[in-house]
A = this chain, B = another copy of it.
Amino acid sequence: MSPHPYYNPELHGPYERIDIGPLDLEDGGQLPQCTLAVAVHGQLNAAKDNAILVPTWYSGTSKIMEQVYIGPGRPLDPAKYCILVVNQIGNGLSTSPHHGAKPWAFPKVRIGDDVRAQHRLLTEHFGIRRLALVFGGSMGAQQTYEWAVRYPEMVERAAPLAGTASNTEHDTLFSETLCEALTSDPGFAEGRYGSAAEVAAGLRRHARLWTVMGWSTEFFQQGRHRALGFDSMNDFVDRFMSGYFGPMDPNNLLAMAWKWQRGDVARHTGGDLPAALGRIRAHTYVMPISHDMFFPPADAERECHHVPRGVFRPIECIDGHLGLFGTDPAAIAQIDANLRELLALPA
């Protein structure tokens, strides 16, 4: 099999693909051979107490987390911590629809499945028993909350960025419009397309919806897209947004979207969200982005109130949700300052 033109180590590496064996799934079925792609930055110390877990967001891979959040002198410093960036199932690097013979028949994977798979990877493969920090944005925040609720004794600190513990109805509908943009393309053919190029129109609509909801009205009003080097909105959509999403595999995106829509730690407590959040023992810095149009600060703040050691730290940034990509250095500086403070707290 020739390497995929997008999901490959040249674009997203280095990473190691580690087989963790068969994974039974919460919604039934099984991944007979679950492989997680992991990028490791830094070394585990002898006590194995310097591990930081970084899960990934929708469409993202370990590469963007490395580029934006990890580096010498940063809070996530490989000289001090062993930072494990684990690609989520379905993202194209870990086990994903496009790897199989029938991508359209990939089983439904939940946030909880990812977190159980990551737990097995960390405990059995790396021998890790404590996490100094779990830090993730968007769907990575969903996984961060899931970790803190499911394995409270293992997570010392948690930093969910631009995401929620329980997906809202509004956000679920927004992500449904993303799915529909793809599936309504006749070229999608119920997932049986030959290549992503056959779903180009759908991928382009998907990129436009991301442009409308992913940034913010203020981002465009202040001409931030021009400041990033694009002449016009069309140029921004065509070159940047469609350029980003265009090469991705639609079945992979849909697997992640399905998971995103159903992220909810209250599944542990029969739908009682305060009870689920009440299980968290981690020092938790809750960081929504001020201009996020689908994970707004108000939603994050409501959840934060139920986290025993929750601290609400909104990030001021007109770039909105996609400020996650590091387009606004001032936002990254705020995130770094929060992470530095959080990591300094005694476990």
Query: How many angstroms from the CA of A209 to the CA of B209 in the assembled complex?
Result: 9
Is the CB–CB distance between B172 and A233 below 8 Å?
A: yes
Copy number in the complex reads 2
| Structural contact, A173 and B218, CB atoms closer than 8 A | no
The residue of chain B having its C-beta at the shortest distance from the C-beta of A176 within the complex is B208
* A220/B176 in contact, CB under 8 A: no
Q: CA–CA, A186 to B188, complex, Å?
A: 13
- From the candidates B176, B209, B216, B298, name the one contacting A177 in the complex (CB within 8 A): B209
Query: How big is the A interface, by class?
Result: 35 or more
- A212 interface neighbour in B177, B211, B216, B219, Cβ under 8 Å: B177
Residues of B near A171 (CB, < 8 A) are 217
Q: A57: CB under 8 A from chain B?
A: no
- Chain B residue numbers with a CB within 8 Å of A174 are 212
Chain A interface, DSSP helix/strand/loop, else mixed: helix
Given A174-B212, A218-B296, also A184-B169 (CB < 8 A): no
**In the complex, A26 has a CB within 8 A of chain B:** no
Per-residue CB proximity of A212-237 to B under 8 Å, as 1/0? Answer: 11011111110001000000110001
Min CB distance, A321 to chain B, in Å?
A: 12
* A170, B212: Cβ atoms closer than 8 Å: yes
Bound CA span A337–B91, Å: 53
CA distance A298 to B180 in the complex (A): 31
Q: Is the CB of A233 within 8 A of B169?
A: yes
- Assembled-state Cα–Cα distance A102/B128 (Å): 69
| Complex A-B: 7 CB contacts under 8 Å | A170-B216, A170-B217, A170-B220, A173-B233, A218-B298, A221-B299, A293-B293
Those 7 A-B pairs whose CB atoms lie nearest each other, nearest first: A170-B220, A169-B233, A170-B217, A217-B296, A169-B220, A174-B212, A177-B208
